Amino acid sequence: MLPTPDISHLASADYQNVYEPAEDSFVLLDALEKEAEYLKNLGPSVCLEVGLGSGICVTFLGQLLGSGCLYVGTDINPQAAKVSHQTAQRNGVSLEPVITDLVSALSPRLHGCVDVMIFNPPYVVTPSEEVGGTGIEASWAGGIKGREVTDRLLPDVNKLLSPGGAFYLLIIKENDKDDLARVMKSSGFSTTVVLSRRSGPEFLSVLKFVRHSSPKAPDG
């Protein structure tokens, strides 16, 4: 088992502005570790995390896959971009953080180039007016069905992913897995559940989307 990235450099003051890693973060880490063989067999060149937060997830991915990849991350929160860069550096991963709304600053520059894409979105069901901030609230406020931010990103997944690329998305039950699968199927993607876990009142799952013609993960 890979160790969880060291985030001891972060203080309580940082978490007033940046999402503190919680059970959802660790479910995503466990899912990536479960997918380690598949991801290594992809031989990725470019890995992207949307919504960096503390940087713990993309840093873990960097530890898993090594220095042969370009690691890029985005966040609308400038503090998150700063902190995630520190997290990556502390754990020996080279990360290029970009302050932008979702992936707008990367399009079309990275179209068809991203081999691995991960997103732990703001998934909490909230009123729509709570969505769209640039501070800590941007890390959790998901609007109607907790899907308003995720739904804005989905059209870009098809544009950004390389032909054999994989997109990993963390969701809760309220985000409607079956509807997400339907939406992505219309763009040529198949959906698998990598990992699910209950955490208090939330039922967390990590979904993997790959194009129908993409190589499948090895058994086991």
Q: Is 147 within a domain?
A: yes
pLDDT score, position 217: 46
Q: Is residue 40 part of a domain?
A: yes
- Evaluate whether residue 34 is within a structural domain: yes
What CATH number corresponds to the domain at position 98?
Answer: 3.40.50.150
In total, how many domains does the chain have? Answer: 1
> Which pLDDT band holds residue 219 (cuts at 50, 70, 90)?
very low
161-177 per-position pLDDT tens digit:
999 999 999 999 999 99
Q: What range does the domain containing 29 cover?
A: 22-211
Is 6 contained in some domain?
Answer: no
Residue 96 lies in a domain: yes
Q: Does 12 map to a domain?
A: no
Q: Flag whether 122 is in a domain.
A: yes
pTM for the model: 0.94
DSSP string of 94-130?
-EEEEESSTTTTTTTTTTTTEEEEEE----B---GGG
- Residue 77's Cβ-side half-sphere holds a number of Cα atoms within 13 Å equal to 27
Give the Cβ contact number of residue 87 at 10 Å: 27
Percent of the chain residues topping a pLDDT of 90? 90
- pLDDT tens string 145-156: 999 999 999 999
Residue 61, CA distances (Å) to 3, 21, 35, 79, 91 in order: 11, 15, 11, 21, 11
Of the candidate ranges 64-78, 95-109, 122-136, the one whose mean pLDDT is the lowest: 122-136
